[in-house]
Structure 1
Amino acid sequence: MPKTPPSPSPAPAAPRNEYTVDELARVTDSTVRNVRAYQDRGLLAPPEKRGRVGVYDDTHVSRLKLINHLLARGYTLANIQDLIKAVDEGHDLRSILGLETAIGSRWSRERPKKYSLLELLQMFGDKASPSALSKAVELGLLERKGLSFVANSPAALSAGATMAHEGIPLADLLDAVRISRPHFNAVAKAMVDLVVRQLDRYDAGALPPPADVPALVEAIWRVRPLAMVLVESEMNRALEEASGDYLGDRVAGIMEKLGSTHEEHTLPPASSDGEAKAAGHAGAEKAKAKKSAR
């Protein structure tokens, strides 16, 4: 009777890297204090206890690197806690981050640009006064970075410099930005509401089901540029309407003034009865003097 060949023994498990808390902090560019804090918040699983020593492994390394990555993207620890909870419930972290990016990423493709004070003086000339720079920083048009300034929209900064060179006072230009900003904020909120309305079908404060997230992300990316088209179209209409009204009023005023001036030059001046009598008397006296001279 043939012998049954022995079943192959399972492949040995890959050796697991182990770390003390100090080693874990070092390989993840973190600190022991942060490791303890993340454990207290439930963001990091506790280590395996071997006597009085806690032993960490590569799963802790991966989790710490993820936390550091999310913190660098601007998430708070509370946000990260919610994300990790969602992942534990079956969500794909990449899909969640993709949804966050589709909603919250920059709408402009412009990249911020750094300017020295000398470069700003070259752009704006003597109009770049300390008060104007302070006002631009207050409005967020410029951000101080040491001795330099960063403009989130270099195109807007260049447009402002050109308008200033054309004679528009920089203080008036900055006031126009300040006055119009609340209106732009209202328009922006309306457009963002349109974009994220895709989420209204789900419970508030809850993530969509994992299977729905990829299609939702694609839908939001499709709607975003369409919202920008609506904003640009409405802004163009409003500018044309405002400039047309102003131009009409200004031209009407000019025509009215021209008409008044034309009448003054074409109509003979009116004389009063007193002026006529005085002119006649002067003429009689002149004739009398001429007769006496003969």
Structure 2
Amino acid sequence: MDSYRIDDLARMADTTVRNVRAFQERGLLPPPRMKGRTGYYDDSHLARIRVIGNLQERGFTLASIGEMLSAWESGHNLADVLGVERVLTEPWSGEEPEYLSISEVVEIFVPGLVEDDFAGKSPELFPMLARAEELGFIRWAGDRFEVPSPRLFRVGVELHAAGVPLSSIYDIAGELRADCATIADRFVALAVKQADLEDPSQLAARADLPEIAKLIARLRPLGMEAIQGMLAQELHARIQAAFSDRIETFLDLLPKEVPLTPKDPGPS
């Protein structure tokens, strides 16, 4: 097995000596084999640093990485540990973001604004754009706008084209976001209870990590199907009730007897 000094190890792992020492201090990296006053590292150290770097790039803190590595050392296959991580972090929507020019977005969200008036200014200066970004419709990307969810964006555009004011669209979008958060919390609570994960500190000791990953993965389609089915039922029932009442009221206001205009008998 090859041996490396700390500077060689850092170079091969595409990191810094300072990071290697920090990993050791936090217990993420085993100590080197000492020969005199010089420490020598091997391929296992190199592999572990690369795993740490990969997890850091995916947004994990060193504390979370430490828990994963502890699970690995306790006998779990790292693929099982990362399998749970993958279903937790991968996007739950298959949508690809789209991009719109400034003029396209301005035309939708700030009617009447000339594009030249926008040049060099932050979107935050325009309340309508700031609100759209806050709700996740758009995201400022330097010289254009990213649309994270084209499907959601099109709903807003269609409502606006139908005459619904932007302020009303923003209000209902905010309310729906809160409603969806509550629904999501309920499904997560169900999964946590089903997987017996009320105590998160016990996750590393679990031997059924692949089954937990499968349970979390199944939550996505089942949750979406349940919400779509129930929402369709409720929309049908409530729209029918609301408009039926209004139509009945309208009919009640009509004259009970409508006089018939006699036809012109024409020339005799």
TM-score norm. by structure 2 comes to 0.81
Query: Corresponding residue for 1:278?
Result: none
Query: Corresponding residue for 1:108?
Result: 93
Residue 59 of structure 2 is aligned to residue 79 of structure 1: no
Shift of the 232–57 alpha-carbon distance from structure 1 to 2, 3 Å rule, reads same
Query: Corresponding residue for 1:272?
Result: none
User: Which of 68, 76, 97 in structure 1 is aligned with 2:82?
Assistant: 97
Query: Corresponding residue for 2:13?
Result: 28
Give the superposition deviation at 1:122.
5.6
Query: Corresponding residue for 1:180?
Result: 176
Residue 234 of structure 2 is aligned to residue 249 of structure 1: no
Shift of the 67–248 alpha-carbon distance from structure 1 to 2, 3 Å rule, reads same
Partner letter of residue 63 of structure 1? R
Q: Which deviates more from structure 2 when the two are superposed, residues 138-147 or residues 37-46?
A: 138-147
Shift of the 41–107 alpha-carbon distance from structure 1 to 2, 3 Å rule, reads same
Stretches of structure 1 that go unaligned for 5 or more consecutive residues are 1-15, 267-294
Give the superposition deviation at 1:77.
0.6
Question: Would you say the 8 A contact 1:47–1:56 is kept in 2?
Answer: yes
Greater CA radius of gyration, 1 or 2?
A: 1
- In structure 1, C-alpha distance between the alignment counterparts of 2:238 and 2:30, rounded to whole Å: 62
Query: Corresponding residue for 2:152?
Result: 156
Partner letter of residue 178 of structure 1? G
- In structure 2, C-alpha distance between the alignment counterparts of 1:72 and 1:61, rounded to whole Å: 17
Structure having greater relative contact order (Cα 8 Å, sep ≥ 6): 2
- In structure 1, C-alpha distance between the alignment counterparts of 2:43 and 2:81, rounded to whole Å: 23
- In structure 2, C-alpha distance between the alignment counterparts of 1:70 and 1:100, rounded to whole Å: 10
Question: Would you say the 8 A contact 2:70–2:204 is kept in 1?
Answer: no
- In structure 1, C-alpha distance between the alignment counterparts of 2:9 and 2:90, rounded to whole Å: 32
Residue 179 of structure 2 is aligned to residue 194 of structure 1: no
Stretches of structure 2 that go unaligned for 5 or more consecutive residues are 114-122, 260-268
- In structure 2, C-alpha distance between the alignment counterparts of 1:202 and 1:189, rounded to whole Å: 14
Question: How do 1:119-268 residues align onto structure 2 when only pairs under 5 Å count?
Answer: 119-121=104-106, 126=111, 130-200=126-196, 204-207=200-203, 211-259=207-255
Q: Which deviates more from structure 2 when the two are superposed, residues 63-72 or residues 96-105?
A: 96-105
Give the superposition deviation at 1:105.
3.3
Question: Would you say the 8 A contact 1:112–1:152 is kept in 2?
Answer: yes
- In structure 1, C-alpha distance between the alignment counterparts of 2:112 and 2:242, rounded to whole Å: 27
Identity of paired residues, percent?
Answer: 35
Question: Would you say the 8 A contact 1:127–1:170 is kept in 2?
Answer: no
TM-score norm. by structure 1 comes to 0.74
Query: Corresponding residue for 2:37?
Result: 52
CA-atom RMSD in angstroms: 2.7
Question: Would you say the 8 A contact 1:196–1:220 is kept in 2?
Answer: no
C-alpha distance after superposition, 1:190-224 (max 9, x if no partner): 12223343321785421276542223333443343
Question: Would you say the 8 A contact 1:124–1:161 is kept in 2?
Answer: no
Shift of the 136–39 alpha-carbon distance from structure 1 to 2, 3 Å rule, reads same
Give the superposition deviation at 1:54.
2.6
